[in-house]
Copies of this chain bind each other. A is one copy, B any other.
Amino acid sequence: MKKLEFWFEFASTYSYPAAMRVEAVAEKSGVQVLWRPFLLGPVFKKQGWNDSPFNLYPDKGRYMWRDLQRVCEKQGIPFNKPSVFPRNGLLAARIASRFAGEAWTPEFIRQIYRANFDLDLDISSPDIVSQCLVNLDQNPEDTINRAEHAESKEKLKQQTERAQQLGIFGAPSFIVEGELFWGNDRLEAALEWSGQLQRI
Protein backbone atom coordinates (compact mmCIF):
# COMPACT_ATOMS: atom_id res chain seq x y z
CA MET A 1 0.00 0.00 0.00
CA LYS A 2 1.40 3.40 -0.95
CA LYS A 3 1.87 5.95 1.78
CA LEU A 4 1.31 9.69 2.07
CA GLU A 5 3.12 11.58 4.82
CA PHE A 6 0.92 14.39 6.09
CA TRP A 7 3.00 17.03 7.88
CA PHE A 8 0.87 19.39 9.93
CA GLU A 9 0.93 21.95 12.73
CA PHE A 10 -2.14 22.58 14.88
CA ALA A 11 -1.87 26.38 14.64
CA SER A 12 -1.67 26.28 10.84
CA THR A 13 -4.81 27.54 9.15
CA TYR A 14 -4.66 25.62 5.88
CA SER A 15 -3.72 22.48 7.81
CA TYR A 16 -7.29 22.53 9.14
CA PRO A 17 -9.14 21.70 5.88
CA ALA A 18 -6.28 19.37 4.94
CA ALA A 19 -6.52 17.44 8.22
CA MET A 20 -10.28 17.14 7.90
CA ARG A 21 -10.17 15.58 4.44
CA VAL A 22 -6.79 13.91 4.00
CA GLU A 23 -7.80 10.48 5.29
CA ALA A 24 -11.01 10.26 3.26
CA VAL A 25 -9.33 11.41 0.04
CA ALA A 26 -6.27 9.19 0.51
CA GLU A 27 -8.25 6.08 1.48
CA LYS A 28 -10.52 6.52 -1.52
CA SER A 29 -7.30 6.36 -3.54
CA GLY A 30 -6.00 3.34 -1.63
CA VAL A 31 -3.20 5.35 -0.02
CA GLN A 32 -2.36 5.19 3.68
CA VAL A 33 -1.90 8.43 5.62
CA LEU A 34 1.10 8.74 7.93
CA TRP A 35 0.34 11.59 10.35
CA ARG A 36 3.40 13.75 11.02
CA PRO A 37 2.84 16.51 13.56
CA PHE A 38 5.62 19.08 13.83
CA LEU A 39 6.13 22.63 15.08
CA LEU A 40 6.23 25.59 12.73
CA GLY A 41 7.78 27.89 15.38
CA PRO A 42 11.38 26.70 14.90
CA VAL A 43 10.89 26.56 11.11
CA PHE A 44 9.63 30.16 11.03
CA LYS A 45 12.34 31.32 13.42
CA LYS A 46 14.94 30.05 10.97
CA GLN A 47 13.34 32.35 8.38
CA GLY A 48 13.54 35.30 10.78
CA TRP A 49 9.89 35.31 11.81
CA ASN A 50 8.74 35.46 15.42
CA ASP A 51 5.05 35.26 14.53
CA SER A 52 2.88 33.79 11.81
CA PRO A 53 3.59 35.39 8.41
CA PHE A 54 -0.17 35.99 8.26
CA ASN A 55 0.24 38.35 11.22
CA LEU A 56 3.53 39.82 10.02
CA TYR A 57 2.10 40.62 6.56
CA PRO A 58 -1.41 42.01 7.12
CA ASP A 59 -2.55 42.04 3.46
CA LYS A 60 -1.59 38.39 3.14
CA GLY A 61 -3.31 37.61 6.44
CA ARG A 62 -6.53 39.37 5.47
CA TYR A 63 -6.60 37.45 2.21
CA MET A 64 -5.84 34.12 3.91
CA TRP A 65 -8.82 34.37 6.30
CA ARG A 66 -11.15 35.15 3.43
CA ASP A 67 -9.69 32.39 1.27
CA LEU A 68 -9.82 29.86 4.11
CA GLN A 69 -13.49 30.65 4.61
CA ARG A 70 -14.17 30.02 0.91
CA VAL A 71 -12.12 26.79 0.93
CA CYS A 72 -13.93 25.44 4.00
CA GLU A 73 -17.33 26.35 2.54
CA LYS A 74 -16.47 24.52 -0.65
CA GLN A 75 -15.30 21.45 1.29
CA GLY A 76 -18.37 21.58 3.55
CA ILE A 77 -16.22 22.08 6.67
CA PRO A 78 -17.53 24.34 9.44
CA PHE A 79 -15.26 27.32 10.04
CA ASN A 80 -15.22 30.22 12.46
CA LYS A 81 -12.24 32.52 12.59
CA PRO A 82 -10.45 31.90 15.92
CA SER A 83 -10.42 34.92 18.23
CA VAL A 84 -6.75 34.16 18.99
CA PHE A 85 -4.22 33.36 16.27
CA PRO A 86 -1.95 31.51 16.27
CA ARG A 87 -2.86 29.25 19.19
CA ASN A 88 -0.18 27.14 20.84
CA GLY A 89 -0.67 23.51 19.81
CA LEU A 90 2.41 22.15 21.60
CA LEU A 91 0.58 19.82 24.01
CA ALA A 92 -1.70 18.47 21.30
CA ALA A 93 1.29 17.96 18.99
CA ARG A 94 3.14 16.02 21.68
CA ILE A 95 0.12 13.76 22.09
CA ALA A 96 -0.30 13.28 18.33
CA SER A 97 3.41 12.51 18.03
CA ARG A 98 3.65 10.21 21.09
CA PHE A 99 0.54 8.22 20.09
CA ALA A 100 1.03 8.39 16.32
CA GLY A 101 0.26 4.71 15.80
CA GLU A 102 -2.95 4.53 17.83
CA ALA A 103 -6.34 4.05 16.21
CA TRP A 104 -7.86 7.05 18.01
CA THR A 105 -5.15 9.53 17.05
CA PRO A 106 -6.48 10.72 13.63
CA GLU A 107 -9.83 11.55 15.23
CA PHE A 108 -8.04 13.27 18.13
CA ILE A 109 -6.19 15.43 15.59
CA ARG A 110 -9.45 16.35 13.86
CA GLN A 111 -11.08 17.18 17.20
CA ILE A 112 -8.25 19.55 18.12
CA TYR A 113 -8.54 21.26 14.73
CA ARG A 114 -12.29 21.63 15.11
CA ALA A 115 -11.81 23.03 18.63
CA ASN A 116 -9.49 25.71 17.22
CA PHE A 117 -11.02 26.59 13.85
CA ASP A 118 -14.70 25.85 14.38
CA LEU A 119 -15.48 26.09 18.09
CA ASP A 120 -12.91 28.84 18.86
CA LEU A 121 -11.58 27.02 21.93
CA ASP A 122 -8.14 27.45 23.46
CA ILE A 123 -6.33 24.30 22.33
CA SER A 124 -3.29 25.20 24.45
CA SER A 125 -5.42 24.54 27.55
CA PRO A 126 -5.06 21.04 29.09
CA ASP A 127 -8.79 21.20 29.86
CA ILE A 128 -9.73 21.46 26.19
CA VAL A 129 -7.21 18.79 25.20
CA SER A 130 -8.55 16.55 28.00
CA GLN A 131 -12.08 16.95 26.73
CA CYS A 132 -11.00 15.76 23.27
CA LEU A 133 -9.33 12.73 24.87
CA VAL A 134 -12.40 11.94 26.97
CA ASN A 135 -14.54 12.08 23.82
CA LEU A 136 -12.36 9.29 22.44
CA ASP A 137 -12.47 7.18 25.63
CA GLN A 138 -8.87 7.95 26.49
CA ASN A 139 -7.72 8.66 30.02
CA PRO A 140 -6.71 12.33 29.83
CA GLU A 141 -4.37 12.44 32.83
CA ASP A 142 -2.46 9.34 31.84
CA THR A 143 -2.27 10.34 28.17
CA ILE A 144 -1.07 13.87 28.92
CA ASN A 145 1.51 12.61 31.44
CA ARG A 146 2.97 10.23 28.92
CA ALA A 147 2.98 12.93 26.21
CA GLU A 148 4.83 15.31 28.57
CA HIS A 149 7.51 12.73 29.30
CA ALA A 150 11.04 13.76 28.27
CA GLU A 151 11.16 11.07 25.59
CA SER A 152 7.92 12.29 24.03
CA LYS A 153 9.14 15.88 24.01
CA GLU A 154 12.32 14.72 22.32
CA LYS A 155 10.35 12.76 19.72
CA LEU A 156 8.41 15.84 18.59
CA LYS A 157 11.58 17.92 18.59
CA GLN A 158 13.31 15.40 16.37
CA GLN A 159 10.34 15.22 14.05
CA THR A 160 10.46 19.03 13.67
CA GLU A 161 14.17 18.79 12.82
CA ARG A 162 13.35 16.03 10.35
CA ALA A 163 10.78 18.30 8.68
CA GLN A 164 13.46 20.93 8.10
CA GLN A 165 15.87 18.30 6.75
CA LEU A 166 13.17 17.31 4.27
CA GLY A 167 12.93 20.91 3.03
CA ILE A 168 9.56 21.56 4.67
CA PHE A 169 9.03 25.30 5.23
CA GLY A 170 5.28 25.49 5.89
CA ALA A 171 2.18 23.48 6.67
CA PRO A 172 0.40 21.47 5.57
CA SER A 173 2.97 19.57 3.54
CA PHE A 174 2.65 16.19 1.90
CA ILE A 175 5.41 13.79 0.97
CA VAL A 176 4.74 10.89 -1.34
CA GLU A 177 7.53 8.72 -2.70
CA GLY A 178 10.10 11.36 -1.70
CA GLU A 179 8.26 14.19 -3.50
CA LEU A 180 7.26 17.27 -1.49
CA PHE A 181 3.96 19.12 -1.94
CA TRP A 182 2.99 22.21 0.04
CA GLY A 183 -0.54 23.39 0.79
CA ASN A 184 -4.01 21.98 1.22
CA ASP A 185 -4.61 22.63 -2.47
CA ARG A 186 -1.79 20.25 -3.42
CA LEU A 187 -3.31 17.12 -1.82
CA GLU A 188 -4.74 15.93 -5.13
CA ALA A 189 -1.42 16.60 -6.90
CA ALA A 190 0.37 14.54 -4.24
CA LEU A 191 -2.01 11.62 -4.77
CA GLU A 192 -1.67 11.96 -8.53
CA TRP A 193 2.08 11.71 -8.03
CA SER A 194 1.57 8.37 -6.29
CA GLY A 195 -0.34 7.26 -9.35
CA GLN A 196 -3.29 6.50 -7.11
CA LEU A 197 -5.63 9.47 -7.23
CA GLN A 198 -9.30 8.53 -7.41
CA ARG A 199 -11.50 11.62 -7.37
CA ILE A 200 -14.42 11.37 -4.98
Q: Chain A residues in contact with chain B, CB under 8 A?
A: 47, 57, 59-60, 62-63, 66-67, 70, 74, 164, 167-170, 180-182, 185-186, 189
Known: A57-B47, A57-B169, A169-B57. A182 touches B62 (CB 8 A): no
Known: A66-B180, A180-B66. A60 touches B169 (CB 8 A): yes
Alpha-carbon distance between A186 and B186 when the two chains are bound, in angstroms = 12
List the number of copies, as a whole number.
2
Report whether B62 and A167 are in contact in the complex, using a CB–CB cutoff of 8 Å.
Answer: yes
Known: A47-B57, A57-B47. A67 touches B167 (CB 8 A): no
Known: A62-B167, A167-B59. A182 touches B67 (CB 8 A): yes
Q: Contact check: which of B47, B63, B181, B189 meets A167 at CB < 8 Å?
A: B63
Report whether A169 and B47 are in contact in the complex, using a CB–CB cutoff of 8 Å.
Answer: no
CB distance from A50 to the nearest CB of B (A): 14
What 4 pairs across the A-B complex have the smallest Cβ distances?
A59-B169, A60-B169, A59-B167, A185-B185
User: From A167, which residue of chain B is reached at the shortest CB distance?
Assistant: B59
CB distance from A162 to the nearest CB of B (A): 14
Residues of B close to A59: CB separation below 8 A: 164, 167-169
Known: A57-B47, A63-B180, A182-B63. A70 touches B189 (CB 8 A): yes
Alpha-carbon distance between A67 and B167 when the two chains are bound, in angstroms = 13
